[in-house]
Chain A
Amino acid sequence: MNKWILLVDDSPDDVELTRLALEENAIANTLVVAHDGAEAIEMLSAESISQRGLPAVILLDLNLPKVDGTEVLRHLRYNDRTRLVPVVVLTSSEEERDLVATYNLGANSYIRKPVDFTEFLAVMQHLGIYWLNLNRLPPETHAKI
């Protein structure tokens, strides 16, 4: 099955820049975008997962309209279907409390979104190599236990 990426980000600019960064790094995996927390949760409902499977990685912004990133994370970890899916917090927040809170909720990684686009490209390259190539995922049947 094609490894796809779920990007949860409300900024249209950041979504486009992420797309560009994936393109520049020749990462061809499908990018699905949720524009707020509620949409993200909807995209990971039982019905959606049965059609598309789980994403290989979720790139989660924290400051989101409606349902914010930490709430999305709490929901994912509470839910048997999604509790093992890798979540990378990708945010411009440098607040230590956000870092600690999201790790406590079971985030797999916390990455600060760089302002400089060159650095952003490098970050996306690392993320692509690590989560799409190097990292091994548990079979989805295990996630359901």
Chain B
Amino acid sequence: MTLHVQDRSGVSVEPLSLAVFRFTSESIWLLDAHGRTLWANDRLSNLLGESAEQLRSRKFEDFSTDGAAAECFRSCVGENAEQRREMSFGTEAVGWADVRLIPFPAGDESSPSGVLAMITDVTRERQAEAAMRVSVRELERRVDPGFAAQTSEEEARGNRDRLLSLADQIVAANKELEAFSYSVSHDLREPLRSIDGFSRILLERYGSVLDDRGRDYLSRVRGAAQRMGLLIADMLTLARIARGELALERMNITRIARSICADLASSDPERRVEVAIADDLTAVGDPRLLEVVLANLLGNAWKFTSKCPEARINLTRCASDTDDVFLVDDNGAGFEMKYVEKLFRPFQRLHSDTEFGGTGVGLATVQRIIARHGGRVWAEATVGKGARVFFSIPRRSLGGKVSA
């Protein structure tokens, strides 16, 4: 008994087998023993860009430019055995296809009466793989120039494995670097205690046996030691930021910012600064780290408005669909936009020490913290009119309460 698919009126329209082919996700092509079209589904028409009508006058081998299709078809019919091969396939837009040829049996068993071709378009996969191979090579070259000389055996190991091993290498190198920078900063600090301590004792106890010039030099030694101490302390903070997990919670930005500004005001009581922190600013982040961000940005605004008679500092939220974006702006010294790239690099300063003091590590620290949160920091400024520093933090839901 043959099953038939019926239309609405109940009339049989075609055998079930063809109907199934019509609805499969693969491109199906029924061929006679010479490779001529018996039937093709719509997917094949779409794939090859030819109508069912056009396909009827075509042969299977017409769709490969290098003869691979013809050869594969010959093997299938000649050996009366299923063939599977990946080949470039198509006429105008040649792509890569995974081609399976399944012979259908004929009465005498030695040669098939026809062939069922199942064709899957794998062009995009192959393109993605090729792009990935290029990226992996590029990555390898960047991670370790000596590593780039791949043998074909290694190539065959697969991009995924190599990407994972590269990622491991990068993570390990990063950890090593962090540990190194931490221990270097830590050990560098030890001799400073001696320089600072003994020069101070020299000044205090033996200052009378030195002339003014001698005392001045000794003061310079102490000043330099103290500056180095600050620099190392900042480096330690920077190194420490990369360590440890982020402890995310919904935090009250407004409260922290106001407390920082209160501290700034009390440590600098003779200054009058108009500070405006918007109400109800919150974000999901690591409170310990974001406090460092706010302290740096507000501290910078405080510092760079110090020569302004009517200093003004604002912290506000900017509109964004995906992130919490905040803006710290001031009407201070600003900077030249052509140097904006340097702003977030460690030890880069846009002002001389005599103008405004600092170590050049603050904004690098800010950037590293914001990057760890998956956000971005950027700035714009006008010389003499002020600076605007923006930072974004991706919006996450925690379901937690705002920390009071």
Q: Using a CB–CB distance below 8 Å, which chain A residues touch chain B?
A: 11, 13-14, 16-17, 20, 92, 94, 113-118, 120
CB neighbours (8 Å) of A114 from chain B are 193
**Complex contact A118–B186 (CB within 8 A):** no
Q: Which residue of A lies closest to B187 (CB)?
A: A92
Mark each residue of chain B from 161 to 196: 1 if its CB lies under 8 Å from any CB of chain A, else 0. 000000000000000000000000010011111101
Q: Provided the pairs A92-B186, A94-B186, A115-B229 are in contact, do residues A120 and B193 lie with their beta carbons within 8 angstroms?
A: yes
- Give the most central of B189, B194, B198, B236: most A CB within 10 Å: B194
CB neighbours (8 Å) of B192 from chain A are 115
B314 within 8 A of A: no
Contact of A17 among B197, B226, B236 (CB under 8 A): B197
**Complex contact A117–B196 (CB within 8 A):** yes
B106 within 8 A of A: no
**Count of chain B residues near A, Cβ 8 A:** 15
Q: Provided the pairs A115-B192, A115-B229 are in contact, do residues A120 and B186 lie with their beta carbons within 8 angstroms?
A: no
Sample of 15 A–B contacts (CB below 8 Å): A13-B191, A13-B193, A14-B193, A17-B197, A17-B198, A20-B197, A92-B189, A92-B190, A113-B193, A115-B192, A115-B196, A117-B201, A118-B200, A120-B193, A120-B197
**Complex contact B189–A116 (CB within 8 A):** no
**Complex contact A17–B193 (CB within 8 A):** yes
CB neighbours (8 Å) of B194 from chain A are 13-14, 17
- The 10 A-B pairs with the shortest beta carbon distances in the complex, nearest first, are A117-B197, A13-B194, A17-B197, A117-B196, A115-B193, A117-B200, A115-B192, A115-B229, A115-B189, A20-B201
- Give the most central of B190, B191, B192, B229: most A CB within 10 Å: B190
Q: Which residue of A lies closest to B233 (CB)?
A: A115
CB neighbours (8 Å) of B226 from chain A are 116
Q: Apart from A14-B194, A94-B236, A116-B226, list 17 A-B contacts with CB within 8 A.
A: A11-B190, A13-B191, A13-B193, A13-B197, A17-B194, A20-B197, A94-B186, A115-B192, A115-B193, A115-B196, A116-B193, A117-B193, A117-B197, A117-B200, A117-B201, A120-B193, A120-B197
CB neighbours (8 Å) of B191 from chain A are 13
CB neighbours (8 Å) of A14 from chain B are 193-194
Would you give the shortest CB distance from A53 to chain B, in whole angstroms?
A: 31
Complex CA–CA separation, A116 to B201 (angstroms): 13
Q: Which residue of B lies closest to A18 (CB)?
A: B197
Would you give the shortest CB distance from B227 to chain A, in whole angstroms?
A: 12
CB neighbours (8 Å) of A16 from chain B are 198
- Give the most central of A11, A20, A114, A115: most B CB within 10 Å: A115
Would you give the shortest CB distance from A61 to chain B, in whole angstroms?
A: 11
Q: Which residue of B lies closest to A96 (CB)?
A: B244
